[in-house]
Structure 1
Amino acid sequence: MKTVELTNVSRWYGNVVAINNVTMTLGSGVTGLLGPNGAGKTTLLHMMSGFLAPSQGELLIGGEPAWRNPGIYRHLGLVSEREAVHGFLTAWEFVLASAKLHKLPQPEQAARRAIELVEMTDAQSRRIETFSKGMRQRTRVAAALVHDPEILLLDEPFNGMDPRQRLHMMELLHQMGSSGRTVLFSSHILEEVEEVSGTVQVIVAGRLAASGDYRTIRRLMTHRPHVFAIRSTDDRRLAVALMHEESVNGLDLDQGGLTVRAGDYGAFTRALPKIALREGLRVRQLIPSDESLESVFAYLITA
C-alpha cells in the first residue's frame, strides 16, 4: 500500500502563506479534501503531485519525495482542476497516448480498460473538442487511471458532470478505495464529500482545521451544543423531564416536535432512553440535526 505523508509542510509566496504547517498521512480508502475556494486545496495537491516544492517540511509519495521526482508517477495518477486536453484528439488517442507515455507493455489493452472504467467506450472515437465538460472530465480520469495507479489525486473531479455521471464517478472512487488504493479528491461542495467519503481533511486559510471522520469531529466539538430533533408519544411531557437533565442546554417545543440542544453528546444519548422509560414514553424519532458535513464545515470556518 502506497501512502501520502506530509510532515510540517508549508508553502508561501513572498509574504503570502498558502499552506501553513500541515501534517497528515493518507492511506488506503477515499479521503475528501474539503475547504472553501482559496483555502489552499489546489496548492496542497500541486505539492503532492511534485509541481511545487514545499517551502518547508517533508512531503513523501509512497516513501519518496514528490518534488523533482517524476518516478512517483509510476504509482500516482493525477486529475488536475485545470484542463490540459488537446481537442483535436479522440478520447481513444488521448488515453492511448497516456498509456504509451507510461511505457506500458500492452498500451492498447490498458487504454481500453481505462475507457471502459469511466463509461466512455461509445464516445471514444469522437474528438474531445466535441465533448461536454463532464465527458472531457471522464476522459481525463481515464488517462490518469490507465497505468492502474495505487494513489489517485483528483482536484474538483465532479465539475461539469451531470447527475448520472456524478453517481458513476462516486461509485468508481468507492471501488478504488475499497480495493486498497489511496484516493484523495478535493471539493468545496459539501454534499460531494459527504456522499463519497466519511473521512475528511478540512483546510481553512491554509491550515489543517480538522482531520478524520466528520461525525467524530463534530462530536469532539464540546464547546458547540449538539442539536437533536425528537418526536415522542408525548413531546411536552418529555420536554419537562429533559429540563432537569444536566447535559441539556436548552430546548424548543412546537408543532414540529421537540428540539434539544445538548452540551454533551454522549451523556445526552445515554440519558434519553432512561428518561423516556421512567416517564413511560416512547421515542419515535431521534435525529442529530447538525451532524452533517455542512454543520461541521460551518463550525470550523467560524471558529
Structure 2
Amino acid sequence: MSELVLDSVSRWYGNVVAVNDVSMRIGPGVTGLLGPNGAGKSTLIALMSGFLEPSAGTMTLDGERVWRNVEVYRRLGLVPEREVSFAYLTGRQFVQANAELHKLSEPRAATQRALEEVDLEGAADRTISTYSKGMRQRAKLASALVHEPQVLLLDEPFNGVDPRQRMHLMKLLTRMGEQGRTVLFSSHILEEVEHIARHVEVVVSGRHAASGDFGAIRRLMTDRPTRYTVRSSDDRALAAALMGQPSVRGVSLETPTGTSEVHVEVTDMGDFARALPTLARSAGITVRDLTPTDESLESVFTYLVQS
C-alpha cells in the first residue's frame, strides 16, 4: 500500500504562485481532488507525479522524494489532461510502447490486459487520430495501467467521456481503490466526485481549502448562503417586505444601470422559494426576474475557504 505526502509544497512561476503551501496525505482508496477551474489541481498532480519540482516543500511517495527519482515510476501511473501527442500510432502501439519503456517481461500480454481493462480492445488497431475524445482518454488510461501501478493519478479523466464510458471508468477506479491501490483524480464537478470518492481534498486559488469525508464537506457547501437578484414592479416595496422573512439574511436595493434591482442573501433556499410568490402576491407586486448570482462552483468553493 502506497502513500503520497505533500509537506508545505509550493510552486511558483516568477511572480505567479500556482500552489501555495499545500500539505496533504493521499493514501489507499479513491481520493477526489476537487476545485474550480484554475485552482491548481493540474499543478498539484504534476508535482505528485514528478513532472514538476516543488519551489518549496517536499513531495514524497512512500518516504522517497518523487522529483528526479526514476524508480517511483514503477509504482506510479499518470493520466494527464492534455491530449495524446502520438496520434499516428494505433491504440495498441501506444500502450505497448509504454509497456516496453517499463521493460515488462511480456509487453504484448500486458498491453492486451490494459486495453481490455479500459474497454478499448475493439478499437485497439485503429490510429489514435481516428479516436473520439473519450477513446483517447481511455487510451491514456490503458497506457498508465499497463505496468499495474500501485498509485494512479488522473487529471480530469471524465472530460469528453460519454455516459456509458463514464460508468465503466467509475467502476474501474472504484475497483482499484477496493484493491488497496492509491487512486487520486481531479475534477471541478461535484457529482463526478460524489459517485466514487468518499475522501476529498479541496483546493481553491492554489491553497488547500478542506480535507475529509465528501458528505461532510458537501453539506458545508450546501449550507452556504445563496444570493439572488430580483427585479419586480416595485423593488423598494419588495425589499422592505423581504427583510421580515426568516430565511432572508440580508437585502439591498441597488441601481446599477439606472433601473433598480433587489439583492437578497438567503439562508434557506426552499423556504425562500415558497415565501416569495406568496409575499409578492399579497403586496400586489409582480416579480419579473429572479436570478441566482452565486450558483457557480467557484462561488461554492470560495465560500468554503472563507467559512
**Would the TM-score normalized by the shorter structure come out above 0.5?**
yes
What is the percent sequence identity of the aligned residues? Answer: 59
Counterpart for residue 59 of structure 1? 59
Counterpart for residue 116 of structure 2? 116
Supply the distance in 2 between the matched residues of 1:82 and 1:189 (Cα, whole angstroms): 18
Supply the distance in 1 between the matched residues of 2:271 and 2:16 (Cα, whole angstroms): 49
- 1:68 to 1:201, Cα distance in 2 relative to 1, 3 A: same
Supply the distance in 2 between the matched residues of 1:40 and 1:201 (Cα, whole angstroms): 12
The alignment status of 1:300 with 2:304, answered yes or no, reads yes
Q: Give the gaps of 5 or more residues in structure 1.
A: 226-242, 244-248, 258-292
Supply the distance in 2 between the matched residues of 1:215 and 1:254 (Cα, whole angstroms): 24
Alignment RMSD (CA, Å): 2.7
Counterpart for residue 50 of structure 2? 50
Supply the distance in 1 between the matched residues of 2:146 and 2:270 (Cα, whole angstroms): 55
Counterpart for residue 95 of structure 1? 95
- Offset, 1:298: 6.0
Counterpart for residue 209 of structure 1? 209
Supply the distance in 1 between the matched residues of 2:273 and 2:209 (Cα, whole angstroms): 38
CA contact (8 A) 1:214 1:296 kept: no
Counterpart for residue 7 of structure 2? 7
- 1:132 to 1:218, Cα distance in 2 relative to 1, 3 A: closer
Supply the distance in 2 between the matched residues of 1:124 and 1:144 (Cα, whole angstroms): 15
- 1:193 to 1:255, Cα distance in 2 relative to 1, 3 A: closer
Counterpart for residue 76 of structure 1? 76
Q: Deviations over 1:210-253 (max 9, x none)?
A: 001122235678x968xxxxxxxxxxxxxxxxx9xxxxx98976
The aligned runs of 1:1-303 (5 Å cut-off) are: 1-217=1-217, 297=301, 299-300=303-304, 303=307
- Offset, 1:85: 3.4
Supply the distance in 1 between the matched residues of 2:131 and 2:219 (Cα, whole angstroms): 44
CA contact (8 A) 1:32 1:200 kept: yes
| Length-normalised TM-score, structure 1 | 0.75
Aligned-partner SS, 1:152: strand
Aligned-partner SS, 1:105: coil
Counterpart for residue 237 of structure 1? none
- Offset, 1:302: 5.7
CA contact (8 A) 1:62 1:72 kept: no
Supply the distance in 1 between the matched residues of 2:49 and 2:270 (Cα, whole angstroms): 50
- 1:39 to 1:295, Cα distance in 2 relative to 1, 3 A: closer
CA contact (8 A) 2:224 2:300 kept: no
- 1:251 to 1:4, Cα distance in 2 relative to 1, 3 A: closer
- 1:298 to 1:65, Cα distance in 2 relative to 1, 3 A: same
Counterpart for residue 292 of structure 2? none
- Offset, 1:86: 1.1
- 1:24 to 1:130, Cα distance in 2 relative to 1, 3 A: same
- Offset, 1:144: 0.3
- 1:126 to 1:55, Cα distance in 2 relative to 1, 3 A: same
Aligned-partner SS, 2:134: helix
Q: Give the gaps of 5 or more residues in structure 2.
A: 226-245, 247-266, 276-296
- 1:250 to 1:197, Cα distance in 2 relative to 1, 3 A: closer
Partner AA of 1:171 in structure 2: K
Q: Report how many residues are paired.
A: 247
Partner AA of 2:75 in structure 1: H
